[in-house]
């Protein structure tokens, strides 16, 4: 009986040892797989950020993108990703932040075979905007309206001054008429 219990103990110890070794091996295999996958994703992200990684090979497809005043860089990156101009909005956002470029509002024509650097070069250059004539026309209209408003306010001010002068002149005339009447009655 003592041999049976010793044998059972020995079997349990061996089984426990094998299970521990297998669990440790599975754990380390999973850790290695996770590290490999994270490394792949980090490489892919870095390559998108610094390497030439267009969505499609040349000639690609032309895309018209409208950037409104006040849109954040992340909004623009999301819009580019939605239009399939870039692969990853986060890597584009980081690229734009690292280069510290100001994205200009306007309408731009880009190609999905362009790199992030080429896209940034276009959307940070207002002279590349397709609809700049309309924006300039709007600016000219705004200036013309401001000038018209200034002229109108100037005319109104002059009219008020004339009215004030007329009122002052009328008051003086009334006073002089009263003086003349007072002199006549004396």
pLDDT digits (tens, 9 = 90+) for 109-124: 999 889 888 999 999 9
Tokens 């892919």 belong to residue: 44
Tokens 């600016």 belong to residue: 139
Q: What pLDDT is stored for residue 185 in this prediction?
A: 61
**Least confident segment among 9-18, 47-56, 99-108:** 47-56
Q: Which of 136, 113, 129 is nearest to 65 (CA)?
A: 129
Q: How far apart are CA 19 and CA 17, in angstroms?
A: 6
| pLDDT of 135 over the 50 cut | no
**Domain range summary for the chain, segments of one domain joined by +:** 9-50, 62-132
Q: How far apart are CA 137 and CA 74, in angstroms?
A: 29
Mean pLDDT, all residues of the chain: 81
Please give the CATH topology (third level) of the domain spanning 62-132: Dna Ligase; domain 1 (3.30.1490)
Q: What pLDDT is stored for residue 173 in this prediction?
A: 66
| Sign of the C-alpha dihedral computed for residues 80, 84, 85 and 91 taken in this order | positive
Share of the chain above pLDDT 70, in %: 69
List strand residue ranges (DSSP E) for 28-181, in order.
62-67, 106-111
Burial zone of 147 (CB within 10 Å; 0-12 exposed, 13-18 middle, 19+ buried):
exposed
The pTM score is 0.56
pLDDT tens digit string along 140-165?
555 655 655 556 556 666 666 766 66
CA atoms within 13 A on the CB side of 57: 0
Backbone angles phi, psi at 65, to 5 degrees: -120, 130
Give me the DSSP letters along 57-122.
-TT--EEEEEE-TT--HHHHHHHHHHTTS-S-HHHHHHHHHHHTPPPPPEEEEEETTS-HHHHHHH
| pLDDT of 9 over the 50 cut | yes
């Amino acid at each position: 009986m003592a041999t049976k219990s010793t044998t059972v103990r020995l079997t349990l110890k061996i089984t426990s040892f094998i299970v521990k070794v297998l669990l440790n091996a599975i754990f380390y295999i999973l850790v290695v797989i996770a590290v490999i996958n994270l490394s792949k994703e980090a490489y892919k992200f870095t390559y998108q950020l610094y390497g030439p990684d267009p969505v499609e090979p040349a000639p690609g497809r032309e895309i018209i993108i409208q950037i409104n005043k006040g849109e954040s860089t992340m909004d623009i990156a999301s819009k580019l990703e939605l239009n399939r101009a870039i692969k990853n909005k986060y890597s584009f956002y980081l690229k734009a932040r690292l280069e510290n470029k100001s994205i200009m509002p306007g309408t731009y024509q880009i190609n999905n075979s362009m790199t992030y650097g080429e896209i940034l070069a276009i959307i940070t250059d207002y002279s590349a905007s397709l609809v700049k004539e309309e924006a300039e026309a709007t600016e000219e209209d705004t200036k013309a309206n401001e000038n018209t408003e200034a002229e109108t306010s100037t005319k109104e001010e002059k009219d008020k001054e004339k009215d004030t002068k007329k009122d002052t002149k009328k008051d003086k005339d009334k006073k002089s008429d009263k003086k003349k009447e007072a002199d006549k009655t004396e």
